[in-house]
Structure 1
């Protein structure tokens, strides 16, 4: 038998993908002549988790059971701690969440969402995303054989000329209704939202939830920033018993406790849904890191008594304000977030040098990629171009914006502000 010419051909799900934004920005940051770079691109924290959590992790490493396989659905102590923390925001259950059947622990929120897609999406099933979307959703859906449909949020009308709010990025419910077909299996919601910082209003959530109930569509609610709201936050599962019964909620200890590298996430929801997510999770990675689950359990158990949630929220809100001071100073509009730790700044007023030599990886990209590259190379500040979170047909609405992550030490934010003041010479009008 002769050798097959296509023996090592990659599967279509991974072949032909263009270089992703994270690789482009991180490599540019590494190679920038302006060192040390101030990285406000990826949303990783610039400081350690609180000591009561890291102390718990160190203690867990001394326990034999914590250094062995965790139960595939998660360590009982963490599931109980999550049940206790989330029962108050699940009022229609009229009883405590069941940690055994209604919660499963995953290797980060991303793997948890992949488990949800693998559990419920068959080839050809459609999944609706709102634009902008976190880019990792798409490969996870495609991996499961799903087809992605998009509904773009309305952008702020005056976003290029004045400060706006993330609440000004609104949902046109009629567009969502038009996107639903007999093949629609799931809608993915992200609140508080990345990259906008939007917290969906109760009116928007009820419209989404009611459509899901009426059309028997699952609602996957990505709430990894749920401990960082700056306005009242309502999870969709809190709206009605009917909506709660078709909702899977995604959470992240990495976001909650400043430990994105720990990769501890979870899904909670009705037992009849969670059982299938758990089955998919078992096949994907069997179990998640054991000692860090124990540390996260202690985190939940002690956070309330130590006032950590309130402190975390106020500190992050202060970082948002601290960073936005320089945007106000420069006269650059931005979208003030209602939650999370991202700020979208509009740089339409910034005039890029006409004779700048762009690398090949940037030449064919929208303006925000050029802004991001130039900002890294000439000013030493890294940010993320948000067109990566849009389909090509809608990228134009955000090509003047950049996403800045403010979850950094205050000294780093002050350094970023000082470097950004260098934009004054390039601001027109």
Structure 2
């Protein structure tokens, strides 16, 4: 190959050097290759530029916790992520085993869900709604509650529409809304004034209705409610829900009511859709088999709403994943059919409250305040009294984050115990509200909770 051909790609970068010097082939070829590769990489980067909704390179809380656990010299007890430490009840497991042997249960289900499951949900939920829910037009089955909420956003939110979310929030809300082109508008749930020093009920986390009303604009398309709330454990009162619902009726705003912990409540629980026909006309209620039956990995969820809402959720769900896992839908249908016979709902609530009480004994022993939950299986603990050693070298992923991330890292490294820093569920502007808290999940075996309590006693020397 003539030398001038080899040199030509270099002309625009160093013309004087190229003209003045006759470089040997062994010097030129690596240089040409490197420059060509650089140009190709730049061109490729332009072509594969990621969408803004997934472009962030900041490590999420799950990656940080898992990295810290992997680097710990201790075997780490995980009270961070909210998965159960035990199996679903036998009558549900047996239903799943049996469903796997049936040909029709191993093939596509109707996109809106298996008729048996929709009927079982109608039978189970109709008493709460005070009327018969139509399984054909008012219920759709989704691949977990999260996909159900994405389907709701995809069904109604377009570019520039605003969706109101309360802080702290379940983090998936944000990405799901933004994927539709929606804009998230935040309204705070204010923590108890004495939360740093006293144990307070979750109901002391308050929503100021005037603040919510001030965030409503002509672009407001939807509001998201979560009750029982993750991570606070707050069950919204009927008075609070009625005020929210009336604002939505006044402004024609759709309500997405995330009620995935609806079988785990320890104070009176109200479903917003039941407050008035006008509010029900605007409400989509979200449910979760994973939370109900201890099987978060099964990914079976549902939405309930009037036909004029559900048909668009179903249309979006069809485009997202067409249909959801068939044999597990059948198993959940049977579980719902048999739950009352096994007194499962009462037992599951009693068991979870007992676990909550058992675990929270350690905070009373240590004199550390916490938020006493109204529902769900998370407890927020205020660790303002814990003094972090000054000589700790924080990893890059933690050193510039709020104090709760440092508390989280410290507990993993020092005690071998993982929790979740709740400022992950806040905007940067408002994260100071929760920087002294950590979230613990109590949906574990009693032996695991007892082992965690023993490790937490190690905090005494840091107080």
Counterparts of 1:54 and 1:13 in 2: how far apart (Å)?
A: 38
Per-residue deviation, 1:397: 1.2
Aligned-partner SS, 1:13: helix
Structure 2 counterpart of 1:110, from 133, 142, 146: 146
The aligned residue for residue 80 of structure 2 is 41
Alignment partner of 1:82 is 2:118: no
The aligned residue for residue 98 of structure 1 is 134
Alignment partner of 1:323 is 2:323: no
Aligned-partner SS, 2:47: coil
The aligned residue for residue 224 of structure 1 is 260
Aligned-partner SS, 1:98: coil
Map 1:224-243 onto structure 2 (within 5 A). 224-243=260-279
Per-residue deviation, 1:17: 4.2
Counterparts of 2:444 and 2:258 in 1: how far apart (Å)?
A: 23
Q: Which has the higher helix share?
A: 2
Map 1:196-211 onto structure 2 (within 5 A). 196-211=232-247
Aligned-partner SS, 2:122: helix
Map 1:245-394 onto structure 2 (within 5 A). 245-394=281-430
Structure 2 counterpart of 1:21, from 61, 71, 75: 61
Map 1:120-131 onto structure 2 (within 5 A). 120-131=156-167
The aligned residue for residue 30 of structure 1 is 70
Structure 1 counterpart of 2:100, from 36, 56, 61: 61
Aligned-partner SS, 1:87: helix
The aligned residue for residue 25 of structure 2 is none
In terms of Rg, which structure is larger? 2
Counterparts of 1:314 and 1:158 in 2: how far apart (Å)?
A: 29
Aligned-partner SS, 2:190: coil
Per-residue deviation, 1:27: 2.3
Q: Could you list the per-position Cα deviations for residues 140-177 of structure 1 after superposition, in whole angstroms to 9, with x for gaps in the alignment? A: 00000000000001110100101101000011000000
Per-residue deviation, 1:106: 0.2
Alignment partner of 1:395 is 2:423: no
Gaps of 5+ in 1: none
Moved over 6 A (4+): none
Per-residue deviation, 1:29: 1.8
Gaps of 5+ in 2: 1-38
Alignment partner of 1:10 is 2:58: no
Alignment partner of 1:178 is 2:207: no
Q: Alpha carbon RMSD of aligned pairs, Å?
A: 0.9
The aligned residue for residue 71 of structure 1 is 110
Aligned-partner SS, 2:185: strand
